[in-house]
Chain A
């Protein structure tokens, strides 16, 4: 009888021990980190290094500009004025305040017209804001330089919002069909969208109407609203 009690006691002890061990191992993150954490660190380091390289390139560029400025400042006002006007047109160009032309693609997307399968969600053949976002993202990925949707120039703070039957872009409402224009390497952009894995192909598979044409020359209008900001100011430490 005593031996039986002792045996029972031992088993209890072992079970308790076992539970403690198990708990310790699953909490072992304190001792060990997962491989993912390490790769995340590696990527972050890579990212910061790359960013630093770009900043160094900017330093080079700015240094050159500074030399130019200094040389011009000594010469006279009219030369500096020309330089500043040149700068101004550059920043107008990259902030979307100038109409641009060049080679590019025109993408037209429209709601699908095919019959639905029984019980199929009609949303599968409709165009959504996410679709437009995805197409723009794909175009950007393949080097688009300027974009417009239904004639609205896309600028830094343009949002594309689905609101019922219409899509709101730059606070103006548009309904289907949607025409996205992009200036850039037209072959690369076309390949990214209509390749076998492309987003355009995916949309076509769903039954959404998706057409892409390559254009030798197309014009994208400038952003018409004044770009003014209520909340943000330059972060320069001002006196």
Chain B
């Protein structure tokens, strides 16, 4: 009996040592990226983000007020003059085509997020960022399905928009972005949704990388204007020869 009790003690000790080692391993895993950060710190960032967003909203409001005033002048003058009225309505049309006005309409919202971090995959890198061509393809498919306006994380996609991996970030319209990616598209919601979710289509392809994706059809979504100033330095208009 006595020799058995000795074995039990040793067994228990071995078990505890094993336990300690396994804890040690699980906590140091992935720490090469800076380790685990308490939630409280993350909440601080969330607060900062909220503050910046509020500031941005205030700036947007100011911009809207100025634009309203401009539109008012245009309207006042065009009511007097038939010719001016034509110009103003043309202006509206081309502004819309250039993507420099906020727009709304029915459409879909696609949310793309990185796969949940697991034991095996180190969570240091982002799948969707490395595979940013998926975003490029997704946007192209949306346009193919007749989307009229598209934005990714608030960045309006216009003709010269690039989606590029720059260092650790994916830049869209030269503004750095991070997941989760929220892609909004205005157009026929059913057509866009079916185009994306077709078998072996883009969504299935994205899901095969483990990305978490949700598609919502909406009655009305808003898409912001392109926030940059478009100025051509090389391209000059060609005089039209009839």
* Chain A interface residues (CB < 8 Å from chain B): 1, 3-4, 7, 10-11, 14-15, 18, 21-22, 25-26, 28-52, 54-59, 61-63, 65-66, 69-70, 73, 77, 80-81, 84-85, 87-89, 91-104, 129-130, 133-134, 137-138, 140-141, 144-147, 154-161, 183-185, 219-220, 227, 229-236
Contacts and interface: CB of A to CB of B under 8 A. Distances in A.
Contact of A233 (B19, B104, B144): B104
Contacts of A93: 232, 235, 237
Given A41-B46, A57-B229, A35 B4 contact: no
Contacts of B216: none
Given A43-B176, A140-B161, A231 B53 contact: no
A169 B157 CA distance: 17
Interface in B85-124: 87-88, 90-107, 114, 117, 119, 123-124
A52 to B, nearest CB: 4
A26 to B, nearest CB: 7
Given A59-B59, A103-B234, A183-B234, 17 more contacts: A10-B8, A32-B36, A42-B45, A47-B175, A48-B52, A48-B53, A65-B70, A66-B66, A84-B84, A88-B91, A94-B100, A95-B95, A99-B240, A100-B232, A129-B140, A157-B148, A234-B104
Contact of A11 (B11, B106, B160, B228): B11
Given A11-B12, A52-B55, A157-B143, A59 B63 contact: yes
Contacts of B175: 47, 50-51, 54
Given A3-B4, A15-B15, A156-B159, A183 B98 contact: no
A227 B237 contact: no
A45 B48 contact: yes
B238 interface: yes
Max count, chain A CB within 10 A of own CB: residue among B1, B49, B223, B232: B232
B136 A134 contact: yes
Contacts of B27: 25
Contacts of B117: 29, 34, 36
What is the interface residue range for chain B against chain A?
35 or more
Contacts of A230: 148, 188
B78 to A, nearest CB: 9
Given A91-B98, A231-B188, A54 B227 contact: yes
A51 B154 contact: yes
25 contacts: A11-B12, A14-B19, A15-B15, A18-B19, A26-B26, A43-B169, A59-B59, A62-B70, A63-B66, A66-B70, A81-B84, A88-B91, A88-B94, A99-B240, A102-B232, A102-B235, A145-B160, A145-B232, A158-B143, A185-B233, A230-B188, A232-B149, A234-B96, A236-B101, A236-B102
B103 A235 contact: yes
Interface in B37-64: 37-39, 41-42, 45-46, 48-49, 52-53, 55-56, 59-60, 62-63
Contact of A28 (B36, B95, B137): B36
Contacts of A81: 81, 83-84, 87
Contacts of B37: 32-35, 37-38
Given A144-B160, A156-B99, A231-B148, A21 B19 contact: yes
A64 B223 CA distance: 26
B198 interface: no
Contacts of B88: 84
Interface in B153-177: 153-155, 157-164, 168-169, 175-177
Contacts of A1: 1
A236 B147 CA distance: 20
A54 B154 CA distance: 13
Contacts of B107: 231
Contacts of A138: 162
B178 interface: yes
